[in-house]
Amino acid sequence: MDLWDCPVVVTGAASGLGAETARHLAEAGAKVTMIDIDRAGIEALASEIGGLAIPCDVADEPAAEAAIAQAKDVHGPARILIGCVGVAQPQRIVDGNGKPMPLQNFRHLVEVNLISTFNMMRLVAADMAGLKPGRDGERGVIILTASVSAYEGQIGEAAYAASKGGVVGMILPAARELGSLGIRVVGIAPGLFSTPTLFKLEQNLDPRIARSVPFPRRFGDPAEFAILVVHVIKNTMINGTVLRLDGGYHK
C-alpha cells in the first residue's frame, strides 16, 4: 500500500514504538492520527510531525469509538491501523506473603492490551470495508503489537503474557475473515526494545540482559520496529502471521 496521503491511525503513539512508527509514517507522507492516554505526549508529537492528536483511554469503549469517528471526520476512514498501546505491570500470582494477585490487576492488563486492541480493529475494519479497493484489491492493513512474552512469559508476567497471547491468537482468524474484504492483519512480536514499557517490565533492567540476544547484542531501537511496520504495509504478501522482531532472543 502506498503511504502518500494515506489515513493512518497509530494507538499508543505518545511513546516508544508507537511514537517512532508515527514519525516514520508521517515522513512517508501519511496522514497520521495519534491516539494515546498521554495527552501531553501526543500533542508534543503532533507539533513535531504534524497530524492529529486524540487523547483517549482506549479501554474506555465510548471514548475509543469517538476517537475513531473523529479521525475519520478529519482524515477520512483509516486504511492503516497500527496498534501499539501496551501496559506491563509485573506481579506474582501469589506474593511473598501468600496473598493472591488482585483479579482486577489481571483484568486491567487484558482490558488494555487485548480487548481494546480488538475494539480498535473491529471499528477500523468496519470503516475499511466501505473503502474503494486499491492495488491488488487491498482496502486496508491492520498491524497489532504482541510480544515474545506471548510465547515465553517470565515469572510475574502471567497477565501480560496472557494478554499478548490473545493478540497472537486473533491474528490468523482476523486475517482469514477480513481477507475477503481486502484487509490484511499482521502481528509483530518485539523482543527487547529500549522503551519505557520494557524498563517497567524488567525492573532494574540490567544492560547485561542485552548480551543474551544472539545478535545484535543490544536492545532494539524503536526505529527498527517502525521500519518493519513500513515494510509490512508495503509488502502485500505478508498476512495472517506474527513476525518476531527479537535478534533471535528467547526469554
The residues annotated as belonging to the active site are: 160
Q: How far is CA 111 from CA 106, 160, 205, in A?
A: 9, 11, 26
Among 75, 81, 193, 244, binds ligand NAD (CB under 6 A): 193
Q: Are strands 52-55 and 80-83 parallel, antiparallel or unpaired?
A: unpaired
Of the residues 68, 82, 87, 233, which one makes contact with ligand NAD according to CB under 6 A: 87
Q: Which of 102, 137, 173, 196 binds ligand NAD (CB under 6 A)?
A: 196
39-78 mask for ligand NAD (x: CB under 6 A)?
--x---------------xxx-------------------
Q: Considering only the stretches 43-51, 132-140, 195-203, 227-235, report the one whose residues sit in contact with ligand NAD under the rule CB under 6 A.
A: 195-203
Residue pair 33/71 in contact by the 8 Å Cβ criterion: yes
By CB under 6 A, tell whether 85 contacts ligand NAD.
yes
Kind plus residue range of the DSSP H or E element containing 81: strand 80-83
User: Which member of 84, 143, 226, 229 binds ligand NAD (CB under 6 A)?
Assistant: 84
Q: How far is CA 139 from CA 39, 47, 56, 79, 182, in A?
A: 30, 29, 26, 6, 5
**Residue 132, CB-side half-sphere exposure with 13 Å CA sphere:** 3
Which of residues 7 and 247 has its CB atom nearest to ligand NAD in the complex? 247
Least distance (Å) from ligand NAD to the CB of residue 208? 16
By CB under 6 A, tell whether 112 contacts ligand NAD.
yes
Assess 190 for contact with ligand NAD (CB under 6 A): yes
For residue 169, the tally of other CB atoms under 10 A from its CB is 15
In 10 A of CB 109, how many CB atoms? 22
- Indicate the residue among 56 and 131 with the shorter CB distance to ligand NAD: 56
Torsion of CA 162, 81, 20, 36, to 10 degrees: -70
Strand (E) or helix (H) holding 55: strand 52-55
Instruction: Name the one range near ligand NAD by CB under 6 A: 14-22, 68-76, 171-179, 228-236.
Output: 14-22
From residue 191, alpha-carbon distances to 19, 68, 114, 115, 155 in Å are: 18, 29, 18, 22, 16
User: With binding defined as CB under 6 A, does residue 221 bind ligand NAD?
Assistant: no
Binding footprint of ligand NAD on the chain (CB under 6 A): 12, 14-18, 36-38, 41, 57-59, 84-88, 112, 145, 147, 190, 192-193, 195-198
